[in-house]
Amino acid sequence: MPSLAIHRLPMAHPGDMSAVAALIAAGTLRAGDVRAVIGKTEGNGGLNDFTRGFFTQSLMLLLARETGESVATLTARIPCVLSGGTEGALSPHYLVFAVDRAVAGPRGLALGTAFSPPTPASEIGRDAQIAAVTQAVRDAMADAGITRAEDVALVQVKAPCAQAPGAEARSSDPRLLMALSRAAAALGVALALGDVAEAGEGDLLRDLTKYSNRASISSGIEVVANEVVVFGYAEGWAPGLTAGVAPMADLLDLPGVVAAFRAAGLPADPSVPADQRHRVLGVIAKGEPEKAGHIRGARHTMLGDTDLDAQRHLRGALGAIVASVAGDGQVFVSGGAEHQGPPGGGLVCVFARG
Amino acid sequence: MPSLAIHRLPMAHPGDMSAVAALIAAGTLRAGDVRAVIGKTEGNGGLNDFTRGFFTQSLMLLLARETGESVATLTARIPCVLSGGTEGALSPHYLVFAVDRAVAGPRGLALGTAFSPPTPASEIGRDAQIAAVTQAVRDAMADAGITRAEDVALVQVKAPCAQAPGAEARSSDPRLLMALSRAAAALGVALALGDVAEAGEGDLLRDLTKYSNRASISSGIEVVANEVVVFGYAEGWAPGLTAGVAPMADLLDLPGVVAAFRAAGLPADPSVPADQRHRVLGVIAKGEPEKAGHIRGARHTMLGDTDLDAQRHLRGALGAIVASVAGDGQVFVSGGAEHQGPPGGGLVCVFARG
Amino acid sequence: MPSLAIHRLPMAHPGDMSAVAALIAAGTLRAGDVRAVIGKTEGNGGLNDFTRGFFTQSLMLLLARETGESVATLTARIPCVLSGGTEGALSPHYLVFAVDRAVAGPRGLALGTAFSPPTPASEIGRDAQIAAVTQAVRDAMADAGITRAEDVALVQVKAPCAQAPGAEARSSDPRLLMALSRAAAALGVALALGDVAEAGEGDLLRDLTKYSNRASISSGIEVVANEVVVFGYAEGWAPGLTAGVAPMADLLDLPGVVAAFRAAGLPADPSVPADQRHRVLGVIAKGEPEKAGHIRGARHTMLGDTDLDAQRHLRGALGAIVASVAGDGQVFVSGGAEHQGPPGGGLVCVFARG
Amino acid sequence: MPSLAIHRLPMAHPGDMSAVAALIAAGTLRAGDVRAVIGKTEGNGGLNDFTRGFFTQSLMLLLARETGESVATLTARIPCVLSGGTEGALSPHYLVFAVDRAVAGPRGLALGTAFSPPTPASEIGRDAQIAAVTQAVRDAMADAGITRAEDVALVQVKAPCAQAPGAEARSSDPRLLMALSRAAAALGVALALGDVAEAGEGDLLRDLTKYSNRASISSGIEVVANEVVVFGYAEGWAPGLTAGVAPMADLLDLPGVVAAFRAAGLPADPSVPADQRHRVLGVIAKGEPEKAGHIRGARHTMLGDTDLDAQRHLRGALGAIVASVAGDGQVFVSGGAEHQGPPGGGLVCVFARG
């Protein structure tokens, strides 16, 4: 019955909502249909990046005006995943996912969302969080009407963290706790999808051979629960959209990137041709600075640069590779890819018009 | 008669000469055969990047010990082109170009060098510099035995600048004077090769439709003359090495990068396969942060980032794209590409074993 | 009749309004009494610093809720001067200036505000802007009831700029136009106060011997008019508050900083003693990275650092000196001090409880 | 019998030895008299700061030419302590300490040096290193002829680290191991001077109430032993030089800084007057970014800034405060002050002409 629409929109700055406002004004988008937002803002992507909060405040104010719902209500039902950092070729933009339930279809790309119960700091990075995410993925699949794990294309999770972790937390270091939260969410997804047979808190950040190629996780202190968005194929949804996903073996795995675009039905050879670029509706990629300090035997300098954060290095590099295949810089590329794709590598997911 | 060898060597830090010392100790390289060095060091690539000077001092001390020549003599005959900045996937490394004149061959990849007379600050970015570079390119071609402009693959120039430009200089801003010096050298190369029919100082940084796809220029205050290295094909040189070059239309021109590797005879599809990577002897690429603030319509944030220099953004992005095709991060990628390749784009040159 | 109150408030992040909300909730501050806000947020202080906009949006939303006025109305009457950058010892905070008109007094520290007519881009950095600021300073003095120029302690101006200056603008470079706007506003203040006898657009950024020790200027693209806040002494205002101001001859002029605190009646020797610190209500300082590259003969590296912006260097240094006298890091220190204090130096203004 | 001379010299860049070369050429300094060098170079002060190595290589080459000794011999007998980072008001410079043994005196400022045996990675941050430093301090005191601990003004130590710590090391994280090495050296000094009664490896980075106000430590991977320089008063040395030291309670302890200058006999009130500045021969200060995130109750942002390293924040702030008292930016200010001065604070040592 429902129909999914994906709008890829530019922003002039993190508080600029003019593009989505114009869509609503033109009747192209109903504010009440918005189900999830995923975007890149131009901050530094670190602890002191406030562009994510500025964007979210601005967007929720707009949607509140348009829908009459309160900001609190909207925040509690619309996952809003922002990643800071648009180094190099990357371009600030956001994807608005809207579902029109009045439209019917035989089978197509579906979206479902779910929120776990609030996760206290003591559960972050522990078995309780893994289990909560696994359940939330199942709930989101049910929400979308996706019945089989193999029909899932991507699970995007926004996982909670704690600004000042107390004694009960697994780590008192907020950066490490954030990584543990991402890791727990990734393995929660992997278990729900059957990508790994079993996993526990002892595996987090340790056994990186356990991973899912379909999990994209961010974590933040402003979130209190695990917010889950599932994309996949389901009966009843309108056809026309596709999602393709592929792992990257390492940062330089250009064939892996090309494979994701081809999996979405796009003729990338190696780039998407200019006359096909309008079919690219959104791209999501995750990656990590290689931990041992070298890629294919060549030393890299991402980890020891006092002036330039390793994640900024990573996004600039991975972002350019993905953008060079996609054809422009409006691609979501984010670091912190623990258990998301192969160790030292990552994954790419492409949404396309069929 | 001569034979060109290209050694691609890693460094653990800017003062680490152990790789070239080992080659000399093993008899693989004769110190006296070294004709040019081109490399990437891990500084920030800006005015306060001292890794270039540290590398050059360390290398010249080693060569002086090995050859018995003085550092001053070596510096005056061996162009040593260092570019700082190994953002993202880039790896600190250097290419040692050595010529063994005792070997004979029918026709092959040749190298020639030439130095213009000392260029006073008053001539930088003026017609006098353009003419001096044009003449030096002709001298370097003659040195290599290259007789036709179409046989030239690449001209690498290290152009002079002035730390504190005086009243007679075209600009008192050292950064602008550096750009003017690169521009003058690029158009000097373009004229020598017939890539443009005519050009004068009024065109510098203004008429960017005048450019050469075979000019790679760096400039620095430590240089007093235009130091020129020409690569191309000539009679009498040993066969076995190739050089391929291709322009990039913009930062995301992945097909352009692939074309350069294919022009060098490498089966890039889109990456060089693992079993062919040993044939990649060296890669040189130039690019620029797009000046209007958007690439293919998508806004980029390279130019207005207070924390991260535009050239660091650029190298991280372009470096990753080139490395993803080459197969590893030991590629020379540098900004400041005025009149070197199409405006807003750049060029890639690949040296390969046939 | 009126009474001025100054509240110095902390923020946990740029969107954190809890401190001012608590004051309002406690009845200590009436939202309708707020006349001006001056603060430091923790961004990088450059073109891509969005913490200023985030703070302003958050504050105006709060005041709109509390007063019933629209955000547009509030923005048009309350100057809100934010400066990004809390390097080193500096602490994110803001000063709320509130005026209670129901209170009477014989003579005391007064505040007045005025807005010039909207300033088109073509007038920025030109005689028209200088004249408009001079008039606005007179209007703000009248608003405060200050009758003599020598009674003025400080004039804070938020001057307009243009994001994409057109052909009619004095400069197409937004950073230069911002500096010209600050310079024009500073000389407009200097003329209004009689600190210089005459000045015109030809003096801007050129004749730095023309300056005011009582002008603190910021400029921003979000402002359309010259927003002026005047502090000084006037009849009818409640006593109890003081303002002291002193110039700094250069960045290291510690005696100049101490002089400003003493001028406000504080026993700085050299620091304000712990038991007197509660009397420090607010500190505003302006400074500049010395342009010739050396301070008192010693070379500094602020201007040529590719990784760290010169203004970040400056604020970290000047901020620490001022904070070491004030006793804590809640001091407003900002760069861009053209014609504000002696060339290469700056000025310090201290608000204190008597 | 001996006489100590302190030369404070500028450098135009990290490889610029012209100032010391000029002193030698003029006969003011005998190269063979150089006993220690302490300086600031303009790198970022972090793991990828190569300006320290560039300076040291350049200096040792010069001294080798002048003395006829080998670089290895010179490196093994002359402690050369470089600290990267000249943020804000700081100025690149170095102090050359030379001892003329042909001169006699009744009692004066003395210098002694000592090297511990090579310290393997397994001993770093352990009791063995603490004991080795304690012994080296005693050896250096004996070398100087200083007989009582209370006559010691300052002990400067360059402590070893390991680039790739193995399994036997106390930590596999090179940054943590560097901090442990500084801590062990500081407590080694504290024990030798009687500033703490007892201390062991369990106290390192934990019990910060154990510290010395007379220990200034740096650590680096290029050092293999603990290199110790002791300054203090001893019989037989020529009079005329003084050394004053004082602790800083926190980053804003301006009275503490002033106290150190006064302890050296300089009339700082609060700054050294212009006509007395020639008497300032050298200043050494250590400090730390406060760990809890606030100074005197005001939140600082040094620890969570993704774009600007905490130590760069710290040096810019502390450097400016010290320079504003000294009168210019040629002061040695360095972070990493574990157990050197009070926790959250640091120390200042001033060398002056009497």
Is B315 annotated to bind a ligand? Reply is: yes
Confidence of residue C1 (pLDDT cuts 50, 70, 90): low
* Dihedral sign from CA coordinates of C222, C226, C227, C229: positive
Q: How many residues does chain D have?
A: 354
Is C335 annotated to bind a ligand? Reply is: yes
pLDDT given for residue B1 in this prediction: 59
Give the nearest chain C residue to B173 (CA atoms). C304
Is A335 annotated to bind a ligand? Reply is: yes
Share of chain A above pLDDT 90, in %: 92
The Cα A260–Cα A190 span in angstroms is: 19
Q: Which distant-in-sequence residues (6+ apart) come within 8 Å of A68 by Cβ?
A: none
Contact C48 B312 (CB under 8 A): no
The Cα C272–Cα C260 span in angstroms is: 12
CB D171 within 8 A of CB D193: no
Distances (CA, A) of A206 to A187, B280, C27, D166, D189: 12, 36, 54, 19, 40
Contact A50 C307 (CB under 8 A): no
Distance from CA of C308 to the nearest CA of B (A): 6
Mean pLDDT across A116-139: 96
All residues of chain C having their beta carbon less than 8 Å from the beta carbon of residue D10 are: 298-299
Q: B266 is written with which tokens?
A: 């490498």
- CATH number belonging to the domain at C107-232, selected among 3.30.1330.180, 1.10.10.350, 3.30.360.10, 3.30.1300.10: 3.30.1330.180
pLDDT given for residue A154 in this prediction: 98
The Cα A166–Cα A176 span in angstroms is: 13
All residues of chain A having their beta carbon less than 8 Å from the beta carbon of residue C50 are: 13-15, 42-43, 50-51, 54
Is B334 annotated to bind a ligand? Reply is: yes
Question: B164 φ, ψ to 5°?
Answer: -125, 80
DSSP lists the bridge partners of residue B245 as B349
pLDDT digits (tens, 9 = 90+) for B102-155: 887 899 999 999 999 999 999 999 999 999 999 999 999 999 999 999 999 999
pLDDT digits (tens, 9 = 90+) for D314-333: 999 999 999 999 999 999 99
Which residue among A45, A47, A305 places its CB closest to the CB of D304? A47
CB atoms within 10 A of CB A177: 23
Is D194 annotated to bind a ligand? Reply is: no
Confidence of residue A1 (pLDDT cuts 50, 70, 90): low
Question: D263 φ, ψ to 5°?
Answer: -65, -25
Chains that touch C (3 or more CB pairs under 8 A): A, B, D
Chains that touch A (3 or more CB pairs under 8 A): B, C, D
Contact B14 D58 (CB under 8 A): no
Give the nearest chain A residue to B304 (CA atoms). A42
Q: Which distant-in-sequence residues (6+ apart) come within 8 Å of C162 by Cβ?
A: C121, C124, C169, C174, C177, C221
pLDDT given for residue D175 in this prediction: 86
CB atoms within 10 A of CB D310: 18
All residues of chain B having their beta carbon less than 8 Å from the beta carbon of residue A295 are: 89, 91, 328-329
Structural Rg of chain A based on CA atoms: 19
Distances (CA, A) of D251 to B271, B315, C206, C333: 53, 38, 37, 17
pLDDT given for residue A44 in this prediction: 96
All residues of chain B having their beta carbon less than 8 Å from the beta carbon of residue D50 are: 13-15, 42-43, 50-51, 54
**Does C158 qualify as catalytic in the annotation?**
yes
Report the amino acid identity of residue C142: A
In chain B, list all ranges with CATH 3.30.1330.180: 107-232
Distance from CA of B20 to the nearest CA of C (A): 30
Mean pLDDT across A85-112: 95
pLDDT digits (tens, 9 = 90+) for B317-336: 999 999 999 999 999 999 99
Is A116 annotated to bind a ligand? Reply is: no
What does the pLDDT profile of chain B (354 residues) look like in tens digits? 599 999 999 999 999 999 999 999 999 999 999 999 999 999 999 989 999 999 999 999 999 999 999 999 999 999 999 999 999 999 999 999 999 998 878 999 999 999 999 999 999 999 999 999 999 999 999 999 999 999 999 999 999 988 778 889 999 888 899 999 999 999 999 999 999 999 999 999 999 999 999 999 998 877 889 999 999 999 999 999 999 999 999 999 999 999 999 999 999 999 999 999 999 999 999 999 999 999 999 999 999 999 999 999 999 999 999 999 999 999 999 999 999 999 999 999 999 998
From the candidates A40, A158, A210, A286, give the one annotated as an active-site residue. A158
The Cα C212–Cα C290 span in angstroms is: 18
Of B217, B141, B225, B161, the C-alpha closest to B185 is B217
Quote the distance between the C-alpha of residue B270 and its chain's center. Answer: 24
All residues of chain D having their beta carbon less than 8 Å from the beta carbon of residue A175 are: none
Q: B347 is written with which tokens?
A: 């060029």
Q: Which distant-in-sequence residues (6+ apart) come within 8 Å of D199 by Cβ?
A: D130, D187, D190, D191, D207, D210
Mean pLDDT across C274-285: 98
3-class secondary structure, A64: helix
Q: C270 is written with which tokens?
A: 């050299």
Q: Which residues of C touch A (CB under 8 A)?
A: 13-15, 42-43, 48, 50-51, 53-54, 57-58, 61, 307-308
| pTM score of the predicted model | 0.96
Mean pLDDT across A45-61: 95
All residues of chain D having their beta carbon less than 8 Å from the beta carbon of residue B42 are: 48, 50
Is C345 annotated to bind a ligand? Reply is: yes
| Residues of chain D under the 50 pLDDT cut | none
Question: B98 φ, ψ to 5°?
Answer: -125, 140
Report the amino acid identity of residue A30: R
Chains that touch D (3 or more CB pairs under 8 A): A, B, C
pLDDT given for residue B175 in this prediction: 86
All residues of chain D having their beta carbon less than 8 Å from the beta carbon of residue A313 are: none
Q: Which residues of C touch B (CB under 8 A)?
A: 44-49, 301, 304-307, 309, 312
Is D324 annotated to bind a ligand? Reply is: no
In chain D, list all ranges with CATH 3.30.1330.170: 3-100
Distance from CA of B338 to the nearest CA of A (A): 19
Of D188, D242, D228, D232, the C-alpha closest to D210 is D188
Which residue among C42, C54, C58 places its CB closest to the CB of A48? C42
Q: Which residues of A touch D (CB under 8 A)?
A: 44-49, 301, 304-307, 309, 312
| Beta strands across the sheet bearing A152-160 | A107-115, A227-235, A152-160, A215-220
Contact A44 D306 (CB under 8 A): yes
All residues of chain C having their beta carbon less than 8 Å from the beta carbon of residue A58 are: 57
**Does A158 qualify as catalytic in the annotation?**
yes
CA angle D60, D64, D68 (to 5 degrees): 165
All residues of chain B having their beta carbon less than 8 Å from the beta carbon of residue A12 are: 299
The Cα D39–Cα C241 span in angstroms is: 47
Whether domain D240-353 has CATH 3.30.1330.160: the reply is yes
Contact A44 B307 (CB under 8 A): yes
pLDDT digits (tens, 9 = 90+) for C110-119: 999 999 999 9
Active site residues of D: 158, 218
Distance from CA of A308 to the nearest CA of C (A): 8
CB atoms within 10 A of CB D237: 26
Transcribe C52-98 into DSSP letters: HHHHHHHHHHHHHHHH---HHHHHHHS-EEEEE---TT---EEEEEE
Q: Which CATH superfamily is domain D3-100 in?
A: Cyanuric acid hydrolase/Barbiturase, RU A (3.30.1330.170)
Which residue among C92, C251, C270 places its CB closest to the CB of D258? C270
A298-321 burial, b if ≥16 CB within 10 A, otherwise e?
bbbbbeebbbbbbbbbbbbbbbbb
Q: Outline where DSSP puts E strands in C167-236.
A: 215-220, 227-235
- CATH number belonging to the domain at D108-232, selected among 3.40.50.1820, 3.30.1330.180, 3.40.50.720, 3.30.300.30: 3.30.1330.180
pLDDT digits (tens, 9 = 90+) for C335-352: 999 999 999 999 999 999
pLDDT given for residue D1 in this prediction: 59
Which residue among D44, D49, D306 places its CB closest to the CB of A46? D306
Which residue among D253, D258, D301 places its CB closest to the CB of C42? D301
| Beta strands across the sheet bearing B227-235 | B107-115, B227-235, B152-160, B215-220
In chain D, list all ranges with CATH 3.30.1330.180: 108-232
Give the nearest chain C residue to B311 (CA atoms). C306
Q: Return the residue in D258, D321, D330 with the most chain C beta carbons within 10 A, the one to mutate for interface testing.
A: D321
Strands B332-334, B280-286: pairing kind: parallel
Residue C163: pLDDT above 80? no
Contact C43 A54 (CB under 8 A): no
Which residue among D44, D301, D304 places its CB closest to the CB of A307? D44
pLDDT digits (tens, 9 = 90+) for C209-250: 999 999 999 988 778 899 999 999 999 999 999 999 999 999
The Cα A88–Cα C92 span in angstroms is: 30
For residues D219, B62, B217, B165, the Cα torsion angle rounded to the nearest 10 degrees is: 70
